[in-house]
Structure 1
C-alpha cells in the first residue's frame, strides 16, 4: 500500500485500484485524484464545519453507511469537534471530523467517503448558521426541470426582497439555493425565515410545490424542505460527487446557466476540475456575502 507525505504527515492510501463507479471505470485512485485537483475550491466550504460522511468502501453499488463519529484509527493530527447531548438522562458525545486541509481531505477520500456533508455552521459560531438553505427536492412524478423552475421563482422572490442567493445542483435530481447571512441568527430563526419563503412558493405554485411533511402527500410535487435548517442537519457539499452512474457532482451554477437549462449530468468528476479552472468557484459568494434577515423575524 503506497504511503504519501501530505503536508508533512504520512498518509497510507489503500485499495487504489478498486472501482467506485463501474459504468464509468472510475477507481478509488481517480476519486482521490479528483479531490487533489479540486481541493483549493472545496476546502473553504468545509473548513471548521463538523462533517458527516457517506462511505462506499465497495463502490456505489456496495453497502454504504453514514459516519458521524470518527473511527478509532483516525490519525492523531486530524482536527475534531465534540458535540455533547443528553437523551433520556444519558450523556452522548459525537466526535466529528473537521476537514480543514489537504491531508484531512485526502484522509476522508481514502475512507471512500464518496459523499461529504458539512454542517451549516462553523465550530466558532456553532449555534449560528452561515446561510439559509432552500432544498428543492423533486418527489415521485417530478424531476429536475420542476425544481429548476421553482428555483428561478425563488430567485425572483429573493430579488424583490433585496437578497442574494447562490444555486447549485444536488448532483441528483434536486437544486439547493444558499442565502448567505451574518452568523448571528439561531437555527430556529433561520428556519422561520426559510419557512416564510417556502410557503410563498407553495401558495404561488400549489400544483408544483409543497411543504407537506407526509411523504405520501408530496407525490407529483417538489418538496420545499425548510427543515434542513436545523442544527446538525447537512446537505451535500459543493463539488462532492454522488454515488450515481456517470459520477455527477454537486455543482454550483450561475442563475443564467439555470435559466438556460443546465442538467445535473453535465457536471461530473471527469470535467469539474476543468470547469473550475475556467469559471472559478461560483459558490465563493456564499462564504463572502453577509446579509441581515431581521425584518422577517
Structure 2
C-alpha cells in the first residue's frame, strides 16, 4: 500500500521512499522528498504563479528522463492548474502554489522548470535569463568570467543580476524586469550575448552551433522565449549525483578557481539557506524590477 501523508491538510501519496535514485551516492527518494520539504520556504516563491514543466526521471538519474508540460494524469483536483498560451507547448499546466502541491510533484521524481512569465500575465516577461553553458575543456570557472562581464553590462542598463549554478556544469544569470514581451526580452538578451562575444571572442559564443562550442562558453539567450523553460532555483537535477541549481554570491563567483567550489548537493543547500537565506530574494521584489532599455 502506498503511504499517505497529510501535508497542510492535504492527503499526499508518497511512494517507494527507499528507492535509490542516485546509485553513485545512494541518495534515495525519501531523501529527495525530505530535501524538498526542507527547501520549500525558499523554492516555493520562485515557483508560485508560474507554469511548471517537469523533467521526470522516475527510475533515477540513470534511467529514462522525459519532459511533461501538460497536467499529468491523476493530478489531484486541489493542485492548481492554468491555461497557458499555445506557444508554451501545452494547453494546461501545473502551477505549484503550496507545500502539498510541491510534495505531490516531488513524488513524481522531477526537475522543476519554469517560464520567464507569470500565468496571470503570459504576454509580459518578468524575468531575464542567461544560461552560461561551458563546452569542454571550458568549465564553470570560465562561466564565472563571463558572468562577471554580463553583470557589469546589465548594471550599465540599470538591471541587477543574480547568479545560481545550473546544477549541471554551468551558471544561470537572472534578473527581474518589467514592461517587455518575451520577444523583446529575447532580443535584448541576444544583443548582449553578441556583445559579450565581441568583447571576449576567444571565450564567448552566442550561436547554438555545437561544433563551435569546445573551449568556449555558450551564452544561451534563447530561454527568454515564451515557450522555453529554465531549471528553477533549488531544483535537484537528474545528474549522476543529486546536484542542485543553487544561488551563489558574487563573491563566490569572483573567487571560483575550481568547478568543485560551485558544485552543491542536496545536503549542502539547507546549511546555505541558514547562512544566507534566499540569495535570489531580490528577484521577488517588484520594486527592484527594471525596464529593458
TM range (shorter): over 0.9
- Which residue is 2:265 aligned to? 268
1:278 corresponds to 2:257: no
In 2 relative to 1, CA 287–84 (structure 1 residues): closer, same or farther, beyond 3 Å?
Answer: closer
Q: CA deviation at 1:82?
A: 1.9
Return the alpha-carbon distance in structure 2 between the equivalents of residues 51 and 18 of structure 1. 25
Mind listing any 5+ residue stretches in structure 2 that lack a counterpart?
Answer: none
User: What's 1:212 paired with?
Assistant: 207
Deviation of the 1:93 alpha carbon: 5.1
Tell me the residue number matched to 1:224: 219
1:259 aligns with 2:254: yes
User: What's the TM-score, normalizing by structure 2?
Assistant: 0.93
Q: 1:94 to 1:153 in 2, by over 3 A?
A: same
Q: Which residue matches 1:195? A: 190
Give, in angstroms, the shift of residue 18 of structure 1: 0.4
User: Mean Cα displacement is larger for which, 34-43 or 138-147?
Assistant: 138-147
Structure-2 residue corresponding to 1:89:
none
| Structure 2 residue 123 is the aligned partner of structure 1 residue 127 | yes
Q: How does 1:94-243 map to 2 (within 5 A)?
A: 94-113=91-110, 115-182=111-178, 184-243=179-238
Task: Output the TM-score relative to the length of structure 1.
Answer: 0.92
CA 1:161/1:95 → structure 2, altered by over 3 Å: closer, same or farther?
closer
C-alpha separation in 2, matches of 1:157 and 1:68: 34
Work out the CA distance in 2 between the residues paired with 1:246 and 1:240.
Answer: 13
Tell me whether 279-288 or 136-145 shows the greater mean CA deviation: 136-145
SS in 2 for 1:180: strand
Q: In structure 2, what is the equivalent of residue 78 of structure 1? A: 79
Residue 57 (structure 2) pairs with residue 49 (structure 1): no
Distance 2:248 2:85 in 1: 36
2:242 to 244, 247, 264: 247
Q: Distance in 2 between matches of 1:160 and 1:272?
A: 32
In structure 1, the gaps of 5 or more residues are: 87-91
CA distance in 1, matches of 2:73, 2:245: 30
1:212-269 Cα shifts (integer Å, max 9, x gaps): 2322233321111111110021111111111223311011111111111174654210
Q: 2:84–2:122: 8 Å Cα contact kept in structure 1?
A: no
Task: Measure, in 2, the Cα distance between the counterparts of 1:29 and 1:160.
Answer: 46
Q: Could you tell me how far apart the structure 2 residues matched to 1:290 and 1:160 are?
A: 15
- Alignment length (residue pairs): 287
